Structure 1
Amino acid sequence: MIEPGLLPFAAIILAGGRGARLGGADKASIELAGRTLLDRALDAVMDASEVVVVGHQVPTERPVTFVLEDPRHGGPAAGLLTGRDALLRTFPTLAVLAVDMPHLTPATLRRLHEAAVGHQGAVLVDAEGRRHLAYVLHTQHLDAVRPGREEQHNMSMRALLADLDLAEVAQVGRESEDIDTWTDLRDAHEDPQQH
């Protein structure tokens, strides 16, 4: 159910990383406080009208489309564009997030959507101003900067979106934290009041 004032949007969850620093573990299936990282990401995009997960298929609580990025292990930009192609319908905006950011919420996505108005998209930034893999992008502007298939391989998200006017949205609490290592996972369990 879409909140009043929020236009229909699609969400792309990037879950196709190799998890190298986690010994090759499938990040989407890692559990935090009894819920998988994928379930947490799906919670964050609960307002989305359609969801594509770029990664291996696993059971989910809501209907989603699974797709593997093309080219395989081509990186987040290739994953985003593969996810874009897998959408059944075209929406004015796309929410894009990494599966390993367990502190994202629907409120995060709402703030990104609000900030994207009058821009070509919005991106979440941490206290130091670093951009993280949580975006809202206007679909037409993403399509306009799309490179050829060969160029997509190993292209960074920064390079793909370099020409877009993205509003920067400051994190609230731990929103920008991601899980790249087992230490990160342990820290994610900690009481946020300790941070």
Structure 2
Amino acid sequence: MDHGLTGFAAIILAGGQAARLGGVDKQSIEIAGRTLLEFALDAVIDASEVVVVGHHVPTDRPVTFVREEPRFGGPAAGLLIGHDSLLRRFPTIAVLAVDMPHLTSATVRRLHDAAVGHEGAVLVDADGRRQLAMVVETERLAAVQPDLEGRHGLAMRDLLAPLDLAEVPAIAREARDIDTWTDLRDAASPPEDDPTAG
């Protein structure tokens, strides 16, 4: 991959069940008056086309909303229906979960930079665990995707196993997601190293 930021698509995964949050729609959760979807859209502000895999919510951005069928097929199924729903084809696709509000456009740029010479790049946390924040080469993703019957419940690690993905260490709170109400409270708090905290 050597495309850099010369035109890319973005897929925001927002169709999960949010079981530990009582089944609320994560993309509509607010932090400091802004929804998680708004944070995610800001992170992919440089994208030429954006698909949100989740139910339609009001937004002033030009976004395509789609749902996977059957529902709740997991992030890999969401990524693939998002890929299939793109109106145009771009060299790369940025993929991120809607519940990672500390991702920014700088994160996406770092992923693109790290992907040069590889088939993509993925954000990893301090323990080396891969996160739902990545850039993948569109042609390689298309080459490894299973048929429709094989998508539901497919693990993301299995889908991406054939791809050569550079691993990009997260900076500060980039790798944190919101699975619980405690996570939400922490996300709304200033970081400990923020001189304005306290």
TM-score normalised by L of structure 1: 0.96
Size of the alignment, in residue pairs?
Answer: 191
**Maintained 8 Å contact 1:115/1:167:** yes
The answer as to 2:188 corresponding to 1:183 is no
* Post-superposition offset of 1:194: 5.2
* Post-superposition offset of 1:189: 1.1
* Post-superposition offset of 1:6: 2.2
Instruction: Give distance in 1, aligned partners of 2:26 and 2:6.
Output: 30
**Maintained 8 Å contact 1:123/1:169:** yes
3-state SS in 2 of match to 1:192: coil
**Maintained 8 Å contact 1:9/1:95:** yes
* Post-superposition offset of 1:48: 0.3
3-state SS in 2 of match to 1:41: helix
Instruction: Give distance in 2, aligned partners of 1:6 and 1:78.
Output: 25
- How large is the Cα RMSD of the aligned pairs? 1.1
Amino acid at match of 1:32: I
The answer as to 2:55 corresponding to 1:56 is yes
Unaligned runs of 5+ in 2: none
Counterpart for residue 98 of structure 1: 97
Match runs of 1:13-28 below 5 Å:
13-28=12-27
TM-score normalised by L of structure 2: 0.94
Unaligned runs of 5+ in 1: none
After TM superposition, where is structure 1 displaced by more than 4 Å over at least 4 residues in a row? none
Seq. identity, %: 72
The answer as to 2:191 corresponding to 1:167 is no
3-state SS in 1 of match to 2:161: coil
Instruction: Give distance in 2, aligned partners of 1:109 and 1:175.
Output: 11
3-state SS in 2 of match to 1:40: helix
Per-residue CA deviations over 1:112-155 (Å, capped at 9, x if unaligned) read 00111110110000111110000100000101111111111101
Instruction: Give distance in 1, aligned partners of 2:154 and 2:32.
Output: 34
Instruction: Give distance in 1, aligned partners of 2:141 and 2:69.
Output: 17
Per-residue CA deviations over 1:95-128 (Å, capped at 9, x if unaligned) read 0000000000000000000111110110000111
3-state SS in 2 of match to 1:123: strand
The answer as to 2:88 corresponding to 1:89 is yes
